[in-house]
Structure 1
């Protein structure tokens, strides 16, 4: 069963012409986004807050509209 699935995908990717180029573009974009996230963007929460509770409170305060955390 797994061998049949593998052959299906392998043969499908071999037959692609435009699809290969598009997959390469997608993989390059993913690599660039991961590089940005890991090396360029600062780690704001770990640098500015010491505990997980402080980080969670900061995220809750900044990502939820006022009044939603209290059940209103």
Structure 2
């Protein structure tokens, strides 16, 4: 069996399965909306870029300084 034939069969299997879905399409839409909310909206509002606001362009030096301070204490 050639690789092209195998991938073609796999593609058609999933294509036919998703095409014939009714409830599944709605569930996939809900899943994608939830993932969008989790990764985009929460990132924007609850996880600010701490390093950019505190390092002033010298991120490697800032991280090294913070790590060394933690080791000394």
TM-score normalised to structure 1 length: 0.59
Counterpart for residue 3 of structure 2: none
Equivalenced residue count is 60
Q: Secondary structure at the match of 1:7?
A: helix
Question: Does residue 3 of the first structure (1) align with residue 20 of the second (2)?
Answer: no
TM-score normalised to structure 2 length: 0.59
CA drift at 1:45: 2.4
Q: Which protein has the bigger helix share?
A: 2
Report which stretch shifted further, 39-48 or 14-23: 39-48
* Structure 2 unaligned residues grouped into runs of 5+: 1-5
Q: Secondary structure at the match of 2:48?
A: coil
* Structure 1 unaligned residues grouped into runs of 5+: 62-68
The two structures, once aligned, show a CA RMSD in angstroms of 2.6
Judging changes above 3 Å, is the alpha-carbon distance between structure 1 residues 54 and 24 closer, same or farther for their aligned structure 2 residues? same
* Bigger radius of gyration: 2
